[in-house]
Amino acid sequence: MKGSTDGLHFDTLAIHTGQPAEPVTGAVMTPIFQVSTYAQDQVGSHRGYEYSRTDNPTRSALQACLAALEGAKHALSFASGLAATDTLVRTFVPHGGHVVCGDDVYGGTYRLFDKVYRPQGWSFDFVDFRSTPPEIAIRPGTRLVWIETPTNPLLKVIDIARVVAAAHAVGAKVAVDNTFATPVFQRPLALGADYVVHSTTKYLNGHSDVVGGVVMLSDEDDYARLKFHQNAIGAVPGPMDCFLTLRGLKTLSVRMARHQESGNRLVEWLLQHPDVATVASPLHPSHPDHEIARRQMSGFGGMISFELRGGLDRARAFVAATRIFTLAESLGGVESLIETPALMTHASIEPEKRRAIGIADGLIRLSVGLEHVDDLRADLQRAFDLTR
């Protein structure tokens, strides 16, 4: 499109922001600038690009589009969600600093915090905000509060505005991992959060063909510091991955609506299934965080966690018995995935700790894709039958 994208709706921004027609050829889609370096006219005089770790046109287009969708002034892309997390924490938490983190986060995030940073001197409290209010957990000296909401895999919902108030009262910053909700359903920056993080590997790209991450933020000083570290540390995505993510973003809201519609239908069905002990879905009135979810989210998406009757052995057999749901880690793609957190995505958490958090051995996590919901339901029923 021509001209400014100011004031346009989300769906329009997703297709056009940062992507004017390419000036030389008129190409409608931003090209893959598969290049590492750029000719300089004189020493130090270039056309905005000098080296692709620092900046690349395909990455610039992606960053502009991501920032617009999250309502941020800036976005910085990384080679993975964990690379985004790592650069953010190293930039904003000085060595030895105290971090409060939700107790239910992606297993890889927990591993980075507990097994990499903690031995190097940073200090962490992993907190269940349902039982320990943020005003108690966050203390003078806390530098960063890290929350995922909804959480992975238990789908707990944390009150972002309340965490922000408690954190800002002691001068701490708040980072929200918005991977599960996406900006289609939740806007942490509008609720006062300082940073939003995504594994773009998931819904934002949406086609299970890229690993990537992003940090979005609006404070200019913080942006300058993070951009300096993005270049200095260098965990940046390649142009092809940026292109694919940019393409995936164009259909984000259409995909999220369908993920959610099918997800809700499967939740209703699982809730009354005799082989299911519990179902976690915050948009259902029976969920303990339903009220917070209604307040801060406009929808939910297609993640479901449920506890199968029969424990770990049945869970192991169940996830191998589906045909359409593929047994795999990750989530947010067009194809449905199934996994058992205790043995897969959250296996890096010690078993006692895992059970204390509430990740039961029989917990099954579904990423509901875009296949026909009747086929998905029949596939799950088949797995119930085969493992009875």
Is 361 a known active-site residue? no
- The CB-nearest residue to ligand P1T is 81
- Among 30-38, 103-111, 132-140, 297-305, which window interacts with ligand P1T (CB under 6 A)? 103-111
Using CB under 6 A, pick the residue from 331, 342, 359, 383 that binds ligand P1T: 331
Which residues on adjacent β-strands are paired with residue 364?
306
Nearer to ligand P1T, 123 or 330 (CB): 330
Which residues on adjacent β-strands are paired with residue 37?
51
Q: Of 59, 143, 173, 202, which one is the catalytic site residue?
A: 202
Nearer to ligand P1T, 13 or 160 (CB): 160
Using CB under 6 A, pick the residue from 58, 201, 305, 340 that binds ligand P1T: 201
Adjacency order of strands within the sheet including 142-148: 74-78, 213-217, 195-199, 173-177, 142-148, 98-102, 123-127
Site size toward ligand P1T, by CB under 6 A: 18
CB-based contacts of 101: which residues, under 8 Å, 6+ apart? 109, 110, 113, 124, 125, 126, 127, 145, 146, 147
List the interface residues with ligand P1T, window 57-86 (CB under 6 A).
80-82
Is 202 a known active-site residue? yes
The amino acid sitting at 69 is L
- Among 57-65, 131-139, 325-333, 377-385, which window interacts with ligand P1T (CB under 6 A)? 325-333
Site string for ligand P1T, 158-197 (x = CB under 6 A): -------------------x-x------------------
Q: Are 84 and 92 in contact (CB under 8 A)?
A: no
Site string for ligand P1T, 203-242 (x = CB under 6 A): --------x-x-----------------------------
Largest Cα span, the chain: 73
Using CB under 6 A, pick the residue from 18, 97, 102, 108 that binds ligand P1T: 108
CA dist 122 and 116 (Å) reads: 9
List the interface residues with ligand P1T, window 135-154 (CB under 6 A).
148, 152
Place of tokens 């789908």: 155
Using CB under 6 A, pick the residue from 60, 218, 330, 348 that binds ligand P1T: 330
CA dist 239 and 160 (Å) reads: 33
- Rounded to a whole number of angstroms, the minimum distance from the CB of residue 103 to ligand P1T is 14
Using CB under 6 A, pick the residue from 329, 374, 375, 385 that binds ligand P1T: 329
Place of tokens 């499967």: 266
110 lines the binding site for ligand P1T (CB under 6 A): no
Using CB under 6 A, pick the residue from 5, 91, 199, 305 that binds ligand P1T: 199
| Nearest CA-CA partner of 113 in 177, 206, 156 | 177
Is 177 a known active-site residue? yes
Catalytic positions: 53, 106, 177, 202
Q: Which residues bind ligand P1T (CB under 6 A)?
A: 80-82, 106, 108-109, 148, 152, 177, 179, 199, 201, 211, 213, 329-331, 345
